[in-house]
């Protein structure tokens, strides 16, 4: 993988056994931009986002055809180092999922996995990552406390810090704020806006206003297909496809 972290997908089909979950997906996702995936439940957004770090590998019966390139390299090619791929592509889920260990150990987990042992080095990574995630001020005096004691919003920012500690290039976020209150949501949206300077961000969201606030481009999914993909302002003010318009205006979905 070279230094570019754009995502290019060509003719991607994905099957769970006999069921086709993604149908001929073609999309170019630019680096250092926020791309939002919207669409009704079960339309394939989450399935698709997981193809970028090969999380579908873990699902039995899951079969993918077509081409997914990150920085120009086919990530499904034989010999792809999946661990390295997942280091480069961080993921944050809907429900905050800190490990049942200290705040410090959560953030230090990935760097330790990749062989960093020196305390000063780890300290620096932990501080930097927590600062990037906007959590440092709130936890700097209790880094050794268990992460499970944090509030939901703090736990989610911890998960973002944990993802950032691996120094990824791409951040995948699957409904990262749907379980959070408006203040925590606001903090995470602000964070996404700051992070896009350095990272390529792909976010699945059910919150249309969130997509309009934070994303540069939006893709509308329906029944496993991308129906419309456009600049966010364009898609929400003047969608070209009737189905996209009907969905975002609440006529169905």
Q: Which is nearer to another protein, 193 or 249 (CB)?
A: 249
**Distance in Å, CB of 167 to another protein, minimum:** 37
Closest CA to 162 of 101, 110, 127: 110
Q: Which is nearer to another protein, 13 or 245 (CB)?
A: 245
Task: Give Cβ neighbours of residue 34 (< 8 Å, ≥ 6 apart).
Answer: 192, 193, 196, 201, 202, 203, 214, 215, 216, 217
| 69: three-class secondary structure by DSSP | strand
Q: Which residues pair with 222 in a beta bridge?
A: 225
- Contact residue for another protein among 116, 208, 223, 230 (CB under 8 A): 208
Inter-residue contact 231 to 237 (CB < 8 Å): no
Closest CA to 158 of 149, 113, 182: 149
Q: Which is nearer to another protein, 120 or 238 (CB)?
A: 238
Q: Which is nearer to another protein, 3 or 238 (CB)?
A: 238
Site for another protein in 210-249 (CB under 8 A): 212, 236-239, 245, 248-249
**Distance in Å, CB of 165 to another protein, minimum:** 36
Task: State yes or no: residue 182 binds another protein (CB under 8 A).
Answer: no
Contacts to another protein by CB under 8 A: 208-209, 212, 236-239, 245, 248-251
């Amino acid at each position: 993988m070279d230094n570019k972290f754009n995502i290019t997908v060509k003719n991607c089909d994905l099957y769970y056994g006999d069921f086709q979950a993604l149908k001929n997906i073609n999309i170019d996702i630019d680096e250092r931009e926020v791309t939002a995936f919207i669409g009704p439940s079960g339309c394939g957004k989450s399935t698709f986002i997981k193809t970028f770090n090969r999380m579908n590998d873990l699902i039995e019966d899951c079969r993918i055809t077509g081409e997914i390139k990150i920085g120009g390299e086919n990530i499904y090619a034989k010999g792809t180092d999946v661990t390295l791929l997942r280091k480069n592509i961080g993921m944050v889920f809907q429900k905050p999922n800190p490990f049942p260990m200290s705040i410090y150990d959560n953030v230090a987990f990935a760097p330790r996995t990749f062989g960093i042992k020196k305390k000063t080095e780890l300290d620096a990574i932990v501080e930097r990552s927590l600062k990037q995630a906007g959590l440092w001020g709130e936890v700097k005096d209790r880094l050794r406390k268990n992460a499970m004691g944090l509030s939901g919003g703090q736990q989610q920012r911890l998960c973002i810090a944990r993802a950032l500690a691996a120094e990824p290039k791409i951040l995948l976020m699957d409904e990262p704020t749907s379980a959070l209150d408006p203040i925590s949501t606001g903090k995470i949206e602000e964070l996404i806006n700051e992070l896009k300077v350095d990272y390529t961000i792909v976010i699945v969201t059910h919150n249309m206003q969130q997509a309009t606030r934070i994303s540069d481009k939006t893709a509308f999914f329906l029944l496993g297909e991308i129906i419309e993909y456009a600049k966010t302002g364009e898609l929400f003010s003047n969608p070209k496809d009737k189905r996209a318009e009907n969905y975002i205006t609440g006529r169905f979905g």
